[in-house]
Chain A
Amino acid sequence: MNKCVSAAEAVSAVKSGMTIGIGGWGPRRKPMALVRELLRSDVDDLTVVAYGGADVGLLCAAGKVSKVVYAFVSLDFMPLEPAFRKTRESGAIEVREIDEGMMLLGLRAAAWGSPFIPTRTGLGTDVVTRNPDLKLVDSPYDDKAWVAMPALNLDVALIHATRADERGVCEIASPDHYMDDWFARASAHTIVSVDEMVDSTYFNDPEVARRVFWERNVTSQVVHLEGGAHPSSSDPLYGFDVSHYKTYGGLIAEGGYAAWADAFLGDSEADYQSKVGGLDAIHQLPLPAY
């Protein structure tokens, strides 16, 4: 089976009104080229579930989003994501704020077909008072209050991995795969962009096979997008582009989404990459050290 498609073909699975999950974490290993393809489409009214960075910021600022399920939207070295901040302060989006760990539980519940997973997390905080999707339940085993973290069922998940074969066996060679396996499993349809395509025999090495965090039948489509995580990192291949994020922050602050889109979005990924210095420049971006 060959699951390889173009970015445009893959993203056509996303329809207005859908709930999409986006893998990665803040400025790290985000499927940004797929997000850019969404920005070029006429899809809107999305619900987005993510450990958010500029993926969430851009989609919100572009008017594609009606609701965000999040624990944070941040670029780490720039704590406040500029586009998300602007949209959130304008009141243009509904928010469903949850704890970082609750998101993991919600994705697991969806993956496992459970309506919810009970947790202490959220008790006593505004997460339970402000988020209308969260309910407290009684336990049959004790007399305490529990938060029933509901399943975060996704229509489509967008993930960026390091390598894949055409059947959808995906390697994440970065030091952390974050919650990407749960985004993949929580979703009815999982699209994975990768920096490199490999032959299936590549996975015969047991060290490589240990870096495969979900089975190929969880992957619906594969899109070969070298440099496709830019400006986020795709460790170990390239780091995140601090300079581009700063430029992006400046453009959003001065001219909003249109200013960034006019300067960088382009009409294809090749066009985008030429505006940010080309693939060679992306591959030169140093890995962050903390």
Chain B
Amino acid sequence: MTFSLAELMVCAASRSFNDDGEVLATGIGLLPRLAASLAMRTSNPDMMMTDSQSFMLSKPNPVSGMTSHEGQANENWMGFARIFDNVWSGARHALVGPSQVDRFGQTNIAALGGTYETPKVQLLGVRGFPGNSISHANSFFVPKHSTRVFVEGECDVVCSIGYNPERLPKGYSFDDIDIRRVITDLCVMDFNGPNKQMRVISLHPGVPLSEVHENTGFELAVSDDIGETEAPTDEQLQIISELDPLNFRAKQLKDNPPGVRSAA
């Protein structure tokens, strides 16, 4: 079956939840949420998810076509204050889409350019990134792999702790920080290079490694057994279409490219 790049990325991202067991998975944005939902429906049925509002669900809601929360599979109330009880317990894995990621795995969603006092572009603010990053596992979803996202220096505003020896707090080691996977439109990476260096572990079908290097503002390690990103199975594609009946996933990446580049 043919598949889109968005679907390939969703499946790659969903694998980052495979071994999590009973943790709260939070995917921020349509494709990350689809990835978490897919994992809960396939590889990790023990996973926990909310309705993005105030209830924990036994079965993920669709990411498109929802007109009401009536009748959803609630299992417990989970208001925003209670989310922090979960966050600080560590039993959570967030899949988020930062605007900048630096070589330490530090990220930024707060502001870009200028100075801190007068940024060129005010974004969201740090939101929950500081607490998430020091408390539980995090993975990153980057729809457009470029040097604008993977910046040469440090992030303009460091919103999440990464593997930066200069910023490591007293009494902490890199073992206290848990950044899992980075899924982009070109490849999948982790932080298992030397000294927690960001490392390419698979390339999407048809993507040359040189393109990943050219679009990254810093040196990347490359896995010895680098391979091709696993293609979605028919079962995964079927479940994705059930979770996204209106095919909103087709609108997330510019021009909705195919998953295998040579097929373009």
Contacts and interface: CB of A to CB of B under 8 A. Distances in A.
Contacts of B161: 123-125
Given A72-B127, A80-B122, A101-B128, A124 B167 contact: yes
B40 interface: no
B134 interface: yes
Interface of B: 51-55, 61, 66-69, 77, 79-81, 84, 87-88, 106, 110-111, 114, 116-131, 133-135, 157-162, 164, 167-172, 177
Contact of B130 (A89, A104, A127): A127
Nearest to A127: B130
Contacts of A98: 126
A288 to B, nearest CB: 8
28 contacts: A70-B125, A88-B119, A89-B118, A89-B120, A91-B117, A98-B126, A99-B128, A99-B130, A101-B128, A102-B131, A104-B81, A120-B134, A123-B172, A124-B133, A124-B162, A125-B159, A125-B161, A136-B169, A143-B170, A143-B171, A144-B172, A145-B171, A178-B81, A182-B81, A289-B67, A290-B51, A290-B61, A290-B69
Contacts of A99: 126-131
A122 B119 contact: no
A58 to B, nearest CB: 16
Contact of A175 (B53, B134, B172, B177): B53
Contact of A71 (B81, B128, B133): B128
Nearest to B88: A101
Given A123-B169, A145-B170, A80 B133 contact: no
Interface of A: 25, 70-74, 79-80, 84-85, 88-91, 97-102, 104, 119-127, 129-130, 136, 142-145, 175-179, 182, 287, 289-290
A85 B172 contact: no
A71 to B, nearest CB: 5
Most central of B87, B88, B126 by chain A CB within 10 Å: B126
Nearest to B69: A289
A142 B170 CA distance: 11
Contacts, number: 152
Contact of A89 (B55, B119, B124): B119
A241 B118 CA distance: 30
A97 B130 CA distance: 11
B106 to A, nearest CB: 8
Contacts of B87: 101
Contacts of B68: 287, 289
A122 B124 contact: no
CB-based closest 4 A-B pairs: A144-B171, A124-B161, A91-B118, A121-B131
Main secondary structure of the interface of A (DSSP, over half): loop
Nearest to A94: B117
Contacts of A80: 122-124
Given A121-B135, A145-B170, A290-B52, A126 B158 contact: yes
Contact of A126 (B53, B66, B118, B159): B159
B130 A125 contact: yes
B110 A290 contact: no
A121 B127 contact: no
A90 B122 CA distance: 10
A31 to B, nearest CB: 17
A79 B124 contact: yes
Contacts of A100: 80, 84, 127-128, 131
Given A125-B161, A126-B159, A72 B69 contact: no
A85 B122 contact: yes
Given A126-B158, A144-B171, A178 B125 contact: no
Nearest to B61: A290
Candidate in A91, A121, A143 with the most chain B CB atoms within 10 angstroms: A121
A97 B118 contact: no
Contact of A25 (B80, B167, B171): B80
A80 B129 CA distance: 17
B122 A97 contact: no
Nearest to A90: B118
B89 to A, nearest CB: 12
Given A80-B122, A89-B119, A121 B130 contact: yes
A124 B51 CA distance: 31
Contact of B110 (A25, A97, A101, A177): A97
A103 to B, nearest CB: 10
A41 to B, nearest CB: 26
Given A101-B88, A104-B84, A178-B81, A127 B126 contact: yes
A101 to B, nearest CB: 4
B66 A124 contact: no
B53 A176 contact: yes
Contact of B125 (A73, A120, A123, A124): A73
Given A124-B164, A290-B53, A97 B125 contact: yes
B158 A178 contact: no
B128 A125 contact: no
Contacts of B116: 126, 130
